[in-house]
Amino acid sequence: MRGIIGKLWLTNVFLVVLTLLILGIALGKLFENFYFSQRAEQLIRDGRQIAQLVVERQTQDWTLEEINLLSRFIDSNVMVVDRKGLVRACGGMMRMRPGMHLEQEEINHVLEGKTVISRGFHPRFDMPVLSVAVPIRAAGEVVGAVLLHTPVEPITQSINAIRRLILYAAAGAVLVATIISFFLSRQLSLPLLEMKRVALNMARGDFRGRIKIRAKDEIGTLGETLNFLSAKLEKNLRALSQEKEKLANILSSMTDGVITFDAEGKVILTNPVAEQLLDIKQENKEQLEKKYPEINAVLHRVLETNVSEETQIKVGEKIIALRMAPLRQEDGEIYGVVALLQDVTKEWQLERLRRDFVASVSHELRTPLTYLQGYAEAILDGLAETPQQQRKYLEIILEETLRLRRLVSELLDLSQLESGQINLNFSTFSLPQLVRRVTDKLKPVAEKQGIILKTDLPSDLPLVFSDEDRVEQVLINLLDNALQHTPTQGEITIKAEVLPEEIKISVADTGPGIPREELPLIWERFYKVDKARTRAGKGTGLGLAIVKNIVTALGGEVGVESEVGKGSVFSFTLPLRDPEQDK
């Protein structure tokens, strides 16, 4: 009975029962009053006729037989009294003898000329009776009264019979009303139950359900409104879902980390890049506050000042650029903060390398220029007195000039390689011949430094299809780099290995090696290892950058393996070309 059908049914039944109860009580009372009033009027008419009869007989004395006959005729107890309240005649059940005196209260009103009607328990009859007192008038004066008494039980029985009839009719009406009310309640509540089902499905996220409109009444209008609401919500939620997916895809595909905070500084959202940069997990966002207090410090300042802020933080070996900006509502109130994190470690390292390179190039340029200026001034000032001294000074000037030219050439080569303006001349050539030619050029330098230069090449190396001059430049740069870092009595070995689709050439030295953290940076331009590891600080830091750019342009890859104290192995690959394809 907790459902709407039961409630409607109970309400209707209650209203019907209440209505019938009130109606039954009212009808019972109405019939009761009607019967008693009819009987009272009848008694009044009978009493007036008896009073008229008394006046016509000119005597108030009646025989017992006459009174009893009259009582049976009108079905009432008849009593005649004079003005003094003395009984003149009495019949029926009252058993009062003539001459007995009635209480003055009983006949006061009737002796005043009024007709009196009363109903209630009468002690003389020992039962409820209906009493009527009619005055007897003679010559315009009240000379006595006629009192009529009749039991109310016959009237009550008739009224009770009518009440039972009303009760039976009401019970039947309640039964019929109950059945009709049940079906009407069910019919009225079906659309509401359908609306409930659709609303519950909407709450669960299913907006496909629609309500069948059966009528154009208020319930039908409500159903149409609910259908419109369902369609609108489905459309809006689909749009929100699409926007959410777009936002999630954007955040996931961003190369920068994103973190959003609420107005209380709690993490709401992080993208995978931010989780990776800060080494946190989506389900453990609270660890951010404990692990990175510097981020929380910036966050609280932004929340307090309502001003964006930028800074850099160090996370392990990484440098993270942190930018925080407040999120404002239309009224300007802050409801959160968005943080953008960017790994600038490489840029920071490159900037440091650039500064080091500028300092190194400045030094490299200043040193030969100083020599050139000094020895040129010495010659001009006549300090070189002998031809031998002049020749020596001129040789130094030439050597420094060649050094400057080499530095400028390397810068130009690197610039052309990085801009893609280099011209490549591919041809088929023998790699062993190229290696032998390069080692012949550099062997005197190696012997002068006390370094052993060796080759370890397979006898069945295939021909290589590439730019021979550029490959020679790569080998020279790698060997020059090895010569700078290999100590006296060290060894440099050139090796070659044939792979399925390429050939791998490597240059191994027995130098001091390179720390692991510096390996990713050695191919960058401007990079130069610690000068303490080089021979007399030679080199500009451009050789390996040129090697990488040339090899990449030739379609190969560079690589390096190194261990501090055990030397390094620099390698590069070149694609193979079948000589038959050139025919």
CB of 551 closer than 8 Å to CB of 557: yes
From-to residues of CATH 3.30.450.20 in the chain: 12-156, 254-343
**CB burial class (10 A; 0-12, 13-18, 19+) of residue 96?**
middle
pTM for the complete prediction? 0.41
The answer to whether 451 and 493 are in contact (CB under 8 A) is no
CATH 3.20.20.70 fits 423-582, yes or no: no
* DSSP state, residue 101: B
Cα separation of the two ends of the chain:
98
pLDDT at residue 561, as a whole number = 92
Write out the residue limits of the CATH 3.30.565.10 domain(s) in the chain: 423-582
Identify the pLDDT of residue 66: 65
**Spatial contact of 261 and 298, defined as CB atoms under 8 Å apart:** no
Each residue's pLDDT, cut to its tens digit, for the chain (583 residues) gives 556 666 666 777 778 788 878 887 887 778 777 777 877 788 888 878 877 777 776 655 555 566 667 777 777 777 787 777 777 777 665 666 666 666 656 677 777 778 888 777 766 666 777 788 888 887 778 878 887 877 777 777 777 777 788 788 878 877 887 787 777 766 766 777 777 777 788 777 777 777 777 767 777 787 778 788 888 877 887 888 788 778 777 777 777 888 888 888 888 888 888 888 887 765 555 667 677 888 888 888 888 888 888 888 888 778 888 899 988 887 878 888 888 888 888 888 777 767 766 776 676 677 678 878 887 888 888 777 788 888 888 888 887 787 778 777 777 776 777 666 678 888 899 999 999 999 998 888 899 899 999 999 988 888 889 999 889 989 988 998 899 889 988 999 999 999 888 899 999 999 898 888 888 888 876 566 654 444 444 556 678 888 888 899 898 999 999 988 889 999 999 987 644 454 4
Fill in the amino acid letter for 465.
F
Distance CA 89, CA 61 (A): 6
Q: What angle, 0 to 180 degrees and rounded to 10, lies between the N-to-C axes of helices 153-203 and 218-253?
A: 20
Q: Given 1.10.287.130, 2.40.10.10, 3.90.25.10, 1.20.1250.20, which CATH number is that of 348-413?
A: 1.10.287.130
Please work out, in degrees rounded to the nearest 5, the angle formed at the alpha carbon of residue 486 by the alpha carbons of 483 and 488: 105
* Whole-angstrom distance, CA of residue 315 vs CA of residue 455: 45
CA distance to 287, 299, 385, per residue, from 292 (Å): 8, 11, 71
Cα within 13 Å of Cα(474), Cβ side = 33
Please name the residues in contact with 37: beta carbons below 8 A apart, sequence gap of 6 or more: none
Q: Which DSSP string corresponds to 318-340?
A: EEEEEEEEEEE-TTS-EEEEEEE
Q: Is residue 40 a contact partner of residue 132, using CB atoms and an 8 Å limit? A: yes
Checking 527-531 for CB contacts under 8 A at 24+ apart, the result is 527/353, 527/357, 528/353, 528/356, 528/357, 528/360, 529/485
Which two three-digit tokens encode residue 379? Answer: 């010659």
The dihedral formed by the CA atoms of 103, 106, 112 and 114, expressed in degrees to the nearest 10: -160
Burial of 394 (0-12, 13-18, 19+ CB in 10 A): middle
SS (H, E, C) 227-269: HHHHHHHHHHHHHHHHHHHHHHHHHHHCCCEEEEEECCCCEEE
Cβ atoms of 113 and 145 within 8 Å: the answer is no
Per-residue pLDDT, 158: 74
536 C-beta neighbours (distance < 10 Å), count: 7
Assign a CATH topology to domain 12-156: Beta-Lactamase (3.30.450)
DSSP 38: H
Q: Strands, DSSP E only, in 298-379? A: 309-315, 318-328, 334-343
Q: Which fold has domain 254-343?
A: Beta-Lactamase (3.30.450)
Using CA atoms in the order 398, 404, 408, 409, what is the torsion angle rounded to 10 degrees?
A: 40
The H or E element spanning position 429 is: strand 427-429
C-alpha separations of 162 from 107, 158, 355 in Å = 35, 6, 119
**Confidence (pLDDT) at 533:** 45
